[in-house]
Amino acid sequence: MQFTSTSAFIATLLAASSVAAQSCPTVWNDVATDIEADFDGCTDSARAAIRMSFHDCFPGTCDGSLILAGECTDRGENTQMIDECSTLGDKATSFNVSTADMIQFAAAMGVKACAGPTISFLAGRVDSSTANAENQIPSPADNATTILDAFTAKGFDATELVALIGAHSAAKDLNGNSLDSTVTDMDTTFFTETADGSIDASLTSDKFLANSTETSEIWESMESGSTWVDAFGPAMEKLALMGNDEASLTDCSSIITDAFA
Ligand X SMILES: *[C@@H]1O[C@H](CO)[C@@H](O)[C@H](O)[C@H]1NC(C)=O
Q: How many residues bind ligand X (CB under 6 A)?
A: 8
Q: Which amino acid is at 67?
A: I
Interacting positions 40-59 with ligand HEM (CB under 6 A): 44, 47-48, 50-51, 53-54
Q: Give every CB contact of residue 126 below 8 A, 6+ residues apart in sequence.
A: 63, 98, 100
Q: Which stretch binds ligand HEM (CB under 6 A): 11-19, 22-30, 31-39, 165-173?
A: 165-173
- Start-to-end CA span in the chain (Å): 40
* Residue from 102, 170, 210, 218 binding ligand HEM (CB under 6 A): 170
Q: Which stretch binds ligand X (CB under 6 A): 30-38, 122-130, 140-148, 243-251?
A: 140-148
- Return the one option of ligand HEM, ligand X, none that residue 164 interacts with (CB less than 5 to 8 A, by type): ligand HEM
- Return the one option of ligand X, ligand HEM, none that residue 238 interacts with (CB less than 5 to 8 A, by type): none
* Residue from 154, 172, 207, 238 binding ligand HEM (CB under 6 A): 172
Q: How many residues bind ligand HEM (CB under 6 A)?
A: 23
Query: 15 vs 21, which CB is nearer to ligand X?
Result: 21
Q: Are residues 256 and 118 in contact, defined by beta-carbon separation less than 8 angstroms?
A: yes
Q: Are residues 194 and 179 in contact, defined by beta-carbon separation less than 8 angstroms?
A: yes
Q: Give every CB contact of residue 188 below 8 A, 6+ residues apart in sequence.
A: 166, 169, 222, 223, 224, 225, 228, 229
Q: Are residues 74 and 134 in contact, defined by beta-carbon separation less than 8 angstroms?
A: no
Give the rounded distance of the alpha carbon of 140 from its chain centre: 19
Shortest spacing between CB 237 and ligand HEM, in angstroms = 12
Q: Which stretch binds ligand HEM (CB under 6 A): 168-176, 212-220, 223-231, 245-253?
A: 168-176
Angle at 240 between CA 115 and CA 35, to 5 degrees: 50
Interacting positions 126-145 with ligand HEM (CB under 6 A): 138-140
Separation between Cα atoms, residue 174 and residue 176, nearest integer Å: 5
204 interacts with ligand X by CB under 6 A: yes
Separation between Cα atoms, residue 218 and residue 197, nearest integer Å: 17
Question: Which residues form the interface with ligand X (CB under 6 A)?
Answer: 96, 143, 145-146, 204, 207-208, 211
Binding site for ligand HEM (CB under 6 A): 44, 47-48, 50-51, 53-54, 80, 138-140, 147, 164-165, 167-168, 170-174, 203, 205
